[in-house]
Amino acid sequence: MNQTQPEPIIWENFSPTIMQLEVPEKFVSIVNTLGDAVLSDNVLSAKFDFSHGLVGKVSKEVKIPAYDKEDTKFLGDTLKKGCLQYLNYMTEKKRAYGWDKIGKDVTPTIENIRLDQSWIVSQYQGEYNPWHTHSGNFSGVIYLKIPKGMNEVYEKEFRDHYPASGLIEFMYGEKSDFRSDNLKFIPEVGMMLIFPSWLKHSVYPFHCDGERRSMSFNAYYKV
């Protein structure tokens, strides 16, 4: 992954805005180290289990345990900065209606972002996440591990008229002329997607060995 963070990519195919960013390699390394410790230990997996609050049909969904203060700040600031980029973009586009009501003429800063929940999703062959939405103002997903054989799966899938295996799909509204009602992404390690918490999305099962690991989070804006 590039240590110099590239400019975000904006996806507005069907009206709701999805912002694609890239987190630093350090972020992926820290969360994977924490995830490895919890996911490989049945006692810790039970202690930090978060599946009761989620819809996923996957092996394990766990909260991220307490960690080093410096790492905690780094991870939190990375997520907050992503949300702030999203909020600033929407403010510039005159589409941050909720923020305008409470923020008035305030220019948002990282201090206006509050993280609510974050968790790791460990997904294996045949597992999936059904259609759902999140809480908060912002939601996001960061990809941490991709199975070695996943690229071959994608190559085969994209020969089909409707590729799906291993992809995350967002959906909004109804399909009509000159307008799409869905948008899919191929997961890549380090990719972060930020989107409105109310936006419906689903994760399709894949058909190769290995773990697909991601981190999800919810956040709010506040004055």
Per-residue pLDDT, averaged over 21-34, amounts to 96
pTM: 0.90
pLDDT digits (tens, 9 = 90+) for 45-55: 999 999 988 88
- Residues sharing a CB contact under 8 Å with residue 3, sequence separation 6 or more, in sequence order: 24, 25
Beta carbons of 81 and 110 less than 8 angstroms apart: yes
Give whole-number Cα distances, 47 to 41, 42, 60, 64, 167, in Å.
10, 9, 12, 11, 29
Boundaries of every domain in the chain: 13-221
Q: List the one residue out of 86, 64, 88, 87 whose CA is nearest residue 76.
A: 64
- Among the four given CATH numbers 2.40.30.10, 2.60.120.620, 2.60.40.10, 3.30.2310.20, the one describing domain 13-221: 2.60.120.620
User: Quick check: helix, strand or coil at residue 142?
Assistant: strand
Paired tokens of 32 = 């994977």
pLDDT-derived band at 2, boundaries 50, 70, 90: low
Phi, psi of 87 (to 5 degrees): -65, -40
The two beta strands, 168-171 and 182-185, are antiparallel
Q: List the one residue out of 2, 72, 59 whose CA is nearest residue 30.
A: 72
pLDDT-derived band at 160, boundaries 50, 70, 90: confident
pLDDT digits (tens, 9 = 90+) for 65-124: 877 889 999 999 999 999 999 999 999 998 999 999 998 888 999 999 999 999 999 999
pLDDT at 156 over 80: yes
